[in-house]
Amino acid sequence: MNVSVFDTHVRTRDGRYLHFDVLIEGTDRERAARHAREWMAERGVQEADVQQSQCLFCHSEPGNPEVDAAIARQGYFIIPLQGC
């Protein structure tokens, strides 16, 4: 499967900085942003906690078996990079 990588940066109201990649099939930016919000909510960061965010398409790449399985199961895969 070919996946799209969305480079995501979030600054919370309490000053935390989160940087992670959202991997999905296709290039729907809104869907990637929705999955980013879902993933953050699972970690206790609600939309009201977010001061500023950016989720931008970066590039496409072949997915590996772990990524492909996660996307098939839940629609996305997250790669935590900073502050996660």
Sign of CA dihedral 65, 68, 70, 76: positive
Q: Give all domains of the chain, ordered by start, each with its CATH number.
A: 2-82 (3.10.510.10)
How much is the pLDDT for 56? Answer: 95
d(CA 61, CA 72): 16
**Which tokens sit at 67?**
């990524």
Per-residue pLDDT of the chain (84 residues; tens, 9 = 90+): 999 999 999 999 999 999 999 999 999 999 999 999 999 999 999 989 999 999 999 999 999 999 999 999 999 999 999 999
d(CA 73, CA 45): 23
Residues 6+ apart with CB under 8 A from 13: 48, 49, 50, 51
